[in-house]
A and B are shown apart, each in its own frame.
Chain A
Amino acid sequence: MTGPDPDRPAVPGIRPFLREQAPADDRPPPGEQTTSLRPFVLTSGRVAAVDPNIGLETQVSTHPRAWGARLSPEQRAIVQLCAQPLSVAEISAKLRLHFGVTRILVADLRAAGCLEVHVVESEFPDPDTIMRVIRGLRSLS
C-alpha cells in the first residue's frame, strides 16, 4: 500500500465520473442531443456497416448452433425470431431496433455461426426472376 499522493489535491470520495460536471455550454442543447447514435450502444459504438451486401430485404435464418450459444438479449431475440426466415428490415421493425444496429448484430451473429445470412450475389435481378414477379402480381386480384 502506498500513501496518498501529496501533489494531488484531496478529493471527496465520489466515483470519478460523478466528480466533475461537464461545463454546461459544452453539452449540446437538449433538442440537438445525438439521439440517433444512442442505439449503437448495443454494438459497442460501431456504426460502420460490416457487410454492404446485408440489405434491408436480405433473408436471415437461425443456424441450429445458435440454440446453445451464449448471447446478449438482443441477439437472443434475433435468433428466436429467425427460426423462420425473415428479412433484416422485419427483424429491425419487430424488435424496434435501428436498422444500422440490426445489420451489425446480424453480421456478428453470422460471424459467430449462429445465423445464416442468405446474401444474393447478383447486383440486378435476372429477367426470369422479374417475369415471375410480373406473373405473380398479375394474378393478384
Chain B
Amino acid sequence: MAFDPFPENRAAPSDYRAAPTDDRVKTKPPVPVKIIVAGGFGVGKTTTVGAISEISPLTTEAEMTMESVGVDHPNRATTKTTTTIAMDFGCVTIDHTLKLYLFGTPGQSRFSFMWDDLVRGALGALVVVDTSRIDDCYPAVDYFERAGLPFVVGVNTFNGQQGYNLDEVRWALAVRDDVPVLQFDARFRGSVRDALLVVLDQALDKALRMRQT
C-alpha cells in the first residue's frame, strides 16, 4: 500500500498494468442494496450490524445536516447546522452479483437529522429500541415516516429483560398499524436475520405497490 514518491523506483507502467486489468475483467461489481439500522446511543446498533456482517463493522465519518427545532433561536422556527457523525457498517454477500450493506446510524433526540444521502435507495430500516430509553428513537421513527421508507421497530432484549410488552411499545411510539413492532436479540445472528427479513417483507410490499402504479 506504501506509495513510492520517486517515479524511478516504480515499476514501468506496462508491468503493473497487467494484473489489475485481468482482475477487473473477471470481477463485475455486485449490485449493492442497503438497510439502515437506526436508534439512540447505546441501544445495540453496532451489535446488530456485527452479529450478521461478514466483516467486523467498519466506521466511516459523515457530515449530516441537522435541524434543531427552535431551541436556540426562538424567532426562527428551525436552524440548520452540520455535524460529523460516526457510522458503523457491515455487509453480507448474497451472491457474487448482490451485496447487502447495513448502516448503523445514531439518532439524537432534540435534533432531526437530514438522512437524505443515507436513505436514497435504501430498502428499509430497522429501528432498534431500548425500552428504558424509548424516546431516543423518536427522531428515527419521525424521519422514516416522513421519508416514506419502510421500517420495522425492533425492541432489543439485550439484557434478557423486557420491561414492556410490544403493544405498550407500539402505543408509546404511535406508529401506524402496518408498521411491525417485534422483539429481537442483537447479539444473535439468527435473531437479527429474522428482524431483517421482516424489514425486507415491508420493502417487498412497497416495491410491489410501486410496480402496480
Residues of A in contact with B (beta carbons under 8 Å apart): 36, 47, 49, 52, 55-64, 67-68, 73, 76-77, 80, 83-85, 87, 89-90, 92-94, 98-100, 102, 118, 120, 122-127, 129-134, 136-138, 140-141
Contacts and interface: CB of A to CB of B under 8 A. Distances in A.
Interface string B92-105: 10110010110100
Interface residues of B, number: 57
B118 interface: yes
A133 B33 contact: yes
B29 to A, nearest CB: 3
B196 interface: yes
Contacts of B87: 56, 89, 99
B133 interface: no
Interface in B116-147: 117-118, 120-121, 123
Interface of B: 1, 3, 13, 16-17, 19-21, 23-24, 27-34, 52, 58-63, 82-84, 87, 89, 91-92, 94-95, 98, 100-101, 103, 117-118, 120-121, 123, 189-190, 193, 196-197, 200-201, 203-204, 206-208, 210-211
Contacts of A124: 121, 123, 206-207, 210
Given A100-B63, A118-B29, A132-B98, 10 more contacts: A36-B83, A57-B101, A57-B121, A67-B17, A98-B84, A102-B60, A124-B121, A133-B123, A134-B201, A138-B197
B62 A98 contact: yes
A130 B101 contact: no
Contacts of A136: 92, 94-95, 98, 100
The 8 closest A-B pairs by CB, nearest first: A136-B94, A85-B29, A93-B58, A59-B29, A57-B32, A99-B62, A68-B13, A92-B60
